């Protein structure tokens, strides 16, 4: 598995990070370095090993169905770069 | 007269309650110290006025006999914690100007117990780094200086926290530890740092790096102070679904328990090729101290140790790539204006995130993407279980594990490294505890030939922080380490 | 069952439809935050810091939403998974503050089930349910407020949705609409989703493909976010025609997401392609596995109300109602309960008739709902009782009903007050008949000469003379003897 410029562009697009064309090759090289290093994991036999996503061993705690939050538009918009009439405002989205 | 800054937290509490010093006095001394050592760049915001107000309130409570556990104790806060009304940026440009209207559970716990907030401390951007060099505020500096006078890194990501506590510009400090970000800088700066069991401290209100690994923990100069702070900051939080509803042990009492009869594991896999011989020596010394104090040393094997780092460097970036998706310029933080929404996202995130953060987002995005998920992410989750199993097996026979905290002492600021993987190696001894969710403590154990501190790491079973404090105190007593960093002692311009 | 094949220019095509229905869970608060899940608040009013994805905010699940999903699963006769997992579905969008939607990908809370649909011709059949999972709703983007900006409201962000995925078992737009109608009905019976399609509480994504009968599945398109039964049918019908035209023209169908234009009834390609759907699902590390106990499932199962299919079976089986009437009556639980109460001591079929024709007609005309209207089940039953025991005729009953609908009064009282009681006294009726015969001797002669059709004329005259109150059965009977008997 080797990352090329096209893959870098694709990942950058998925991650919504602008990567200038001239940086793509350098990033590809870096990622390949890291990926070939983590390939070391292939030495480990993980047949019949359950993936471990969380170490707590507990199940999900649940809360009761009460309205305990909301109605705090000042907090919600406290740091907003642009808003109007209580809405967040972004460049127009075309569907 | 004794320098007020020499008092530990436990000692300061006694002095405060006895009326020998006031909280305002103590806070003022620390504010002055922080200003005096501003060249270390360990504070990104000093909230002096707020600290003095809090200290005055502490004095009032002490006078009324209503003192909390940390009443009047000045504490620095890693910039990863959201503090209501005070800029909280995770040392990233993308959160430039972000002032939360809410307080993290951990800091709220500290203030509830009377802690006095000194300010926000430098760290690696989004806690991604091991040298505090990825911070948007520039590197924090280690108060310990190289023999040649060069500036050294304090470690990271909680570099500002370790640096401030070591430099006596904070009596205590909060940190977070995702792969070693408390223990490694603690070792580099010669202070005590605890990464609690996953789930012990609430993650609510802390900027997330890798949710299944992140844990907040305390920094202090003394083990007993650390226990006091941990007692105040930990606890079950219904706002964090991964928070554990497991009663906290009597940690302050644990420091007096000693290690007699305790079985301490020494893992053979922690001997690395080309490891600094002085690190090996200090590790050996630590074993001798514990044996001398009545512990039984047991050789153990943690066979999957060498796979912990690559496992970590899949899981942590994967979670981070998703956790950091919310920084998009829409609701808070930096925004780069653009014609289209997608362009705004891409430019905002390209300018807002630093190089290391971008690198990790890219890796994380890649390992989760279609076609690679099983080969990387799922594989890493399986190895993660094997790593945890190693520890479970070990803890069937031992009560704690002793390892070096870091493979080397602190290195110079700006050290050029071509291969990012080389930087990752700083975390080789600390990462396994995060993957397994175990508590781990770094305790200063001595100095290398250059006069720089070296630390040892203790690991214990989940939710058994008490054993770490008991053993940590033994190491501290035996080492007789005196934190007297060069740049502090010599004064900083 | 009639054939569902569609005739194209080059032969028959089979339509294959699968549906993904997004149903808003009825709950007070959101799935992972304590903000209100209510519709219609001011912009960003029902938003917590968790919903706005502020740094360091964490999700905590609402137990009631879990219970609602289990109830719905039980109503769909589906497997309940005691352990399920929440995953993150990663993508960027203005109304998705976290940059990911918390959903269930690999291990949903509900597994396979089935839903019986009732078709207009009275037949029924089962449609497979593949799964039901819990997930967060997104916010709302408004694109028409400003020439170069979109406005974002996060009130819906984080509201709990159930995504219910069918098997591709439907073969016509009518079946698809019947599926959604039944699904909505079951959830409304259960109280797990209000089914309000106008407010967006229930939306469907339709997957449509066509193939030659017996051949492998064709390439499908997905048309998103249809919020009425009519739009669902329109979108499918349009897609079927469009796809057949393309295929018959030797073209290929693009596997794509399409948008439905409600004004033209057509579908079109989405302009913003979603990065080839690389959602990078992985288990949400902020959450732990969702574990529910069998005891809790059993408890919820025991408390389930009777569902439309069960009631419908009783209505067609025990009560002898037509499949159509039974389906109409059981679609809404209120109606079914009303019917059961109204018909308890009366002629079941007659009550069904009165409900579906008169009562529903009047409700339709007045724009009232069953709950709002003044006619109680007991009153309607009373009215039918008066017809059955011959107190009033069906015709009079309509007048009585009209009054009852206005005032909510009791049928017997209305009959009494207005003197509408049916005349069954044969002496009185004979007198009326005598008068009619006397006044129409010519017609009597014609009738007796063989013009049988005139019988109806005599009945009408007698009824008219009685002011509609004469018992039509007795009128018929006496008239028959009087005219035919030559007396």
**Statement to judge: residues C384 and C475 lie in one domain:** no
Name the region of B473 (left: φ>0; alpha: ψ -120 to 50; beta: rest).
Answer: alpha
Interaxial angle between packed helices C323-330 and C333-343, expressed in degrees from 0 to 180 and rounded to the nearest 10: 120
Rounded to an integer, what distance in angstroms lies between the CA atom of residue C14 and that of residue C218? 10
pLDDT attached to residue B493: 38
Q: What is the pLDDT of residue C378?
A: 94
Is pLDDT at C181 greater than 50 in this prediction?
Answer: yes
In three-state form (DSSP H/G/I as H, E/B as E, the rest C), the secondary structure along B325-346 is: HHCCCCCCCCCCCCCCHHHHHH
Domain, as residue range, for C395: 306-418
What is the C-alpha separation between C22 and C89, in angstroms, rounded?
16
- Of B375, B392, B368, B366, which is closest to residue B460 (Cα–Cα)? B392
Give the sign of the dihedral formed by CA B99, CA B102, CA B106, CA B111: positive
Q: Quick one: angle between helices B308-323 and A21-38, nearest 10?
A: 140
Q: Which chains touch A (3 or more CB pairs under 8 A)?
A: B, C
Share of chain C above pLDDT 70, in %: 98
Report residue C323 CA to chain centroid gap: 15
Chain C hits for B319, CB-CB cut-off 8 Å, are 282, 285
C35, β-bridge pairs: A69
C88 → chain B, closest CA residue: B322
Q: What's the CA gap between B308 and B100, in Å, rounded?
A: 35
State residue C182 phi and psi, 5-degree precision.
-70, -40
* pLDDT band at C420; cut points 50, 70, 90: confident
CB-CB neighbors (< 8 A) of A61 in chain C? 60-61, 288
Does residue C344 share a domain with residue C243? no
Last residue of a domain, one of C362, C387, C418: C418
Q: Give residue C487's pLDDT band: very low, low, confident or very high (50, 70, 90).
A: very low
Mean pLDDT over residues C91-116, rounded? Answer: 97
pLDDT truncated to tens, each residue of chain A (95 aa)? 589 999 999 999 999 999 999 999 999 999 999 999 999 999 999 999 999 999 998 999 999 999 999 999 999 999 999 999 999 999 998 76
Chains that touch B (3 or more CB pairs under 8 A): A, C
pLDDT-derived band at C465 (thresholds 50, 70, 90) equals confident
> What pLDDT does residue C1 have?
43
Question: pTM for the whole thing?
Answer: 0.92
In Å, how far are A55, B390, B471 from B433, measured between CA atoms? 11, 11, 17
Q: Is residue C274 scored above 70 in pLDDT?
A: no
Asked whether the predicted pLDDT for residue C486 surpasses 80, the reply is no
Burial of B302 (0-12, 13-18, 19+ CB in 10 A): buried
C58 vs B204, B318, B377: nearest CB: B204
Mean pLDDT across chain C: 93
Distances from the Cα of B418 to the Cα of A27, B421, C3, C119, angstroms: 12, 9, 70, 70
Assess whether C147 and C37 both reside in one domain: yes
| C38 within some domain | yes
* Listed residues C278, C299, C320: the one ending a domain: C299
CA atoms within 13 A of residue B401's CA, in its CB half-sphere? 31
Nearest to B196 by CA among B436, B442, B439: B439
A20 interfaces chain C, CB cutoff of 8 Å: no
Q: Does C44 touch chain B (CB under 8 A)?
A: no
Active site (annotated) includes residue B157: yes
Res C393: pLDDT: 82
Res C96 pLDDT > 70: yes
C23 touches A: beta carbon within 8 Å: no
Quick one: C128 and C27 in the same domain?
A: yes
B244-255 per-position pLDDT tens digit? 999 999 999 999
Residue in chain C lying closest to B326 (CA):
C98
Q: Are residues C103 and C39 part of one domain? A: yes
If asked whether residues C406 and C430 sit together in one domain, one would say no
Q: Tens of pLDDT along chain B (493 residues)?
A: 568 999 999 999 999 999 999 999 999 999 999 999 999 999 999 999 999 999 999 999 999 999 999 999 999 999 999 999 999 999 999 999 999 999 999 999 999 999 999 999 999 999 999 999 999 999 999 999 988 889 999 999 999 999 999 999 999 999 999 999 999 999 999 999 999 999 999 999 999 999 999 999 999 999 999 999 999 999 999 999 999 999 999 999 999 999 999 999 999 999 988 788 999 999 999 999 999 999 999 999 999 999 999 999 999 999 999 999 999 999 999 999 999 999 999 999 999 999 999 999 999 999 999 999 999 999 999 999 999 999 999 999 999 999 999 999 999 999 877 777 777 788 999 999 999 999 999 999 999 999 999 999 999 999 999 999 999 999 999 999 987 786 665 444 3
Nearest-CB residue to A51 (from B329, B375, B381): B381
Q: What is the rounded distance in angstroms from the CA atom of residue B405 to the CA atom of residue B276?
A: 12
pLDDT in tens, C365-398: 999 999 899 999 999 999 999 999 888 888 889 9
Return d(Cα C198, Cα B2) in angstroms, integer. Answer: 75
DSSP state of C320: -
Judge whether residue C474 has pLDDT over 90.
no
Are C414 and C449 part of one and the same domain? no
**Could you say which of C244, C265, C299 is where a domain stops?**
C299
| Cβ contact, residue pair C58, B240, below 8 Å | yes
For C143-176, write each residue's pLDDT tens digit: 998 999 999 999 999 999 999 999 999 999 999 9
Residues C208 and C70 in one domain: yes
B181 is catalytic: yes
Query: Which CATH superfamily includes the segment(s) B4-263+410-489?
Result: Amidase signature (AS) domain (3.90.1300.10)
Query: How is A20-67 classified by DSSP, letter by letter?
Result: -HHHHHHHHHHHHHHHHHHGGGGGS--TTPPP-S-SS-PPPPEE-S--
Domain count, chain C: 3
pLDDT score of C107: 97
Nearest chain B residue to C279 by CA distance is: B369
Of A6-15, B339-348, C13-22, C116-125, the range with the lowest mean pLDDT is C116-125
């Amino acid at each position: 598995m080797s990352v090329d410029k096209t893959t870098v562009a694709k990942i950058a697009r998925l991650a919504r990070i602008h990567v200038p064309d001239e940086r793509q090759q350098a990033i590809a090289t870096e990622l390949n370095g890291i990926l070939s290093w983590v390939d070391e994991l292939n030495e480990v036999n993980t047949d019949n090993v359950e993936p471990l996503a969380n170490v707590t061993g507990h199940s999900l705690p649940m809360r009761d169905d009460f309205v305990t939050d909301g109605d705090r538009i000042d907090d919600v918009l406290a740091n907003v770069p642009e808003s109007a009439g209580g809405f967040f405002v972004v460049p127009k989205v075309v569907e | 007269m004794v320098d007020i800054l020499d008092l530990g937290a436990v000692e300061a509490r006694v002095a405060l309650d006895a009326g020998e010093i006031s909280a305002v006095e103590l806070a003022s001394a620390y504010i002055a110290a922080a200003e005096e050592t501003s060249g270390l760049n360990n504070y990104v915001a000093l909230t002096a006025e707020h600290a003095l107000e809090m200290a005055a309130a502490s004095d009032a409570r002490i006078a009324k006999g209503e003192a909390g556990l940390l009443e009047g104790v000045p504490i620095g806060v890693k910039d990863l914690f959201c503090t209501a009304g005070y800029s909280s940026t995770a040392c990233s440009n993308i959160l430039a100007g972000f002032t939360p209207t809410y307080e993290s559970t951990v800091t709220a716990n500290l203030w509830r117990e009377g802690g006095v907030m000194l300010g926000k401390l430098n760290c690696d951007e989004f806690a991604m780094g091991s040298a505090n060099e990825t911070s948007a505020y520039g590197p924090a500096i280690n108060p310990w200086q190289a023999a040649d006078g060069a500036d050294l890194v304090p470690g990271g990501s909680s570099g500002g926290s370790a640096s401030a506590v070591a430099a006596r510009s904070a009596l205590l400090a909060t940190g977070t530890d995702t792969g070693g970000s408390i223990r490694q800088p603690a070792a580099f700066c010669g202070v005590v740092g605890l990464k609690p069991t996953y789930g012990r401290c609430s993650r609510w209100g802390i900027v997330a790096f890798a949710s299944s690994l992140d844990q907040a923990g305390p920094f202090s100069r003394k083990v007993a102070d650390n226990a006091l702070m941990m007692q105040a900051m930990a606890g079950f939080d219904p706002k964090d679904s991964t928070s554990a509803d497991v009663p906290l042990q009597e940690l302050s009492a644990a420091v007096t328990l000693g290690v007699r009869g305790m079985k301490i594991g020494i893992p053979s896999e922690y001997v690395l090729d080309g490891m600094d011989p002085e690190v090996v020596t200090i590790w050996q010394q630590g074993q001798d101290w514990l044996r001398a104090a009545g512990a039984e040393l047991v050789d153990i094997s943690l066979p999957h140790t060498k796979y912990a780092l690559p496992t970590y460097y899949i899981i942590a970036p994967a979670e981070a790539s998703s956790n950091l998706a919310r920084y998009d310029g829409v609701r808070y933080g930096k925004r780069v204006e653009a014609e289209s929404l997608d362009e705004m996202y891409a430019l905002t995130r390209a300018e807002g995130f630093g190089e290391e953060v971008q690198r990790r987002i890219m890796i994380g995005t890649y390992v989760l993407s279609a076609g690679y998920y099983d080969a990387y992410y799922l594989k890493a989750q399986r190895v993660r279980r094997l790593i945890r199993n190693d520890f479970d097996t070990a803890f069937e026979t031992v009560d704690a594990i002793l390892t070096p905290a870091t493979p080397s002492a602190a290195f110079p600021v700006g050290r050029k490294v071509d291969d990012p993987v080389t930087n990752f190696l700083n975390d080789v001894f600390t990462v396994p505890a995060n993957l397994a969710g175990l508590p781990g403590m770094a305790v200063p154990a001595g100095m290398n030939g250059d006069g720089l501190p070296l630390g040892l790491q203790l690991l214990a079973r989940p939710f058994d922080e008490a054993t770490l404090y008991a053993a940590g105190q033994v190491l501290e007593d035996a080492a007789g380490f005196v934190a007297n960093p060069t740049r502090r002692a010599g004064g900083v311009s | 069952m009639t054939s569902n094949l569609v005739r194209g220019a080059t032969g028959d095509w089979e339509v294959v439809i699968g549906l993904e229905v997004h149903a808003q869970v009825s709950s007070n608060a959101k799935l992972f935050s304590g903000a209100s899940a209510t519709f219609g608040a001011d912009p960003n009013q029902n938003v917590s810091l968790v919903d706005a994805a502020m740094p360091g905010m964490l999700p905590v699940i609402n137990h009631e939403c879990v219970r609602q999903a289990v109830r719905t699963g039980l109503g769909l006769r589906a497997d309940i998974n005691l352990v399920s997992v929440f995953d993150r579905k990663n993508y960027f969008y203005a109304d998705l503050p976290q940059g990911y939607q918390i959903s269930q990908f690999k291990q949903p809370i509900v597994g396979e089930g089935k839903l019986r649909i009732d078709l207009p011709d009275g037949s029924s059949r089962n449609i497979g349910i593949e799964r039901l999972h819990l997930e967060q709703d997104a916010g709302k983007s408004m694109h028409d407020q400003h020439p170069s900006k979109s406005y974002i409201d996060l009130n819906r962000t984080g509201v709990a949705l159930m995504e219910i995925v069918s098997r591709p078992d439907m073969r016509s737009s009518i079946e698809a609409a019947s599926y959604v109608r039944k699904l909505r009905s079951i959830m409304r019976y259960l109280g797990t989703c209000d089914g309000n399609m106008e407010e967006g509480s229930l939306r469907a994504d339709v997957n449509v493909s066509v193939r030659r009968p017996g051949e492998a599945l064709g390439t499908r398109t997905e048309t998103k976010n249809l919020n009425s039964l009519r739009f669902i049918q329109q979108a499918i019908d349009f897609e079927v025609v469009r796809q057949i035209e393309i295929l018959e023209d030797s073209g290929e169908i693009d596997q794509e997401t399409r948008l439905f234009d409600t004004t033209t009834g057509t579908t079109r390609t989405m302009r913003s392609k979603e990065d080839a759907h690389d959602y990078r699902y992985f288990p949400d590390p902020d959450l732990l596995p969702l574990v529910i106990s069998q005891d809790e499932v059993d408890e919820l199962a025991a408390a389930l109300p009777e569902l439309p299919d069960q009631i419908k079976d009783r209505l067609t089986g025990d009560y002898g109602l037509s499949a159509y009437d039974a389906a109409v009556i059981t679609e809404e639980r209120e109606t079914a309960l009303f019917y059961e109460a109204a018909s308890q001591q009366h002629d079941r079929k007659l009550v069904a008739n009165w409900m579906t024709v008169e009562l529903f007609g009047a409700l339709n005309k007045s724009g009232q709902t069953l709950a709002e209207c003044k006619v109680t089940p007991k009153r309607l039953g009373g009215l039918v009782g008066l017809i059955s025991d011959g107190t009033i005729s069906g015709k009079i009953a309509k007048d009585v009903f009209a009054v009852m609908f206005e005032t909510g009064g009791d049928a017997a009282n209305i009959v009494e007050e207005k003197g509408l009681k049916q005349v069954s006294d044969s002496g009185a009726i004979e007198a009326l008949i005598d008068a009619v015969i006397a006044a129409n001797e010519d017609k009597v002669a014609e009738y007796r000469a063989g013009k049988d059709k005139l019988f109806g004329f005599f009945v009408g005259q007698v009824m008219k003379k009685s002011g509609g109150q004469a018992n039509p059965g007795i009128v018929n009977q006496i008239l028959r003897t009087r005219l035919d008997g030559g007396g």
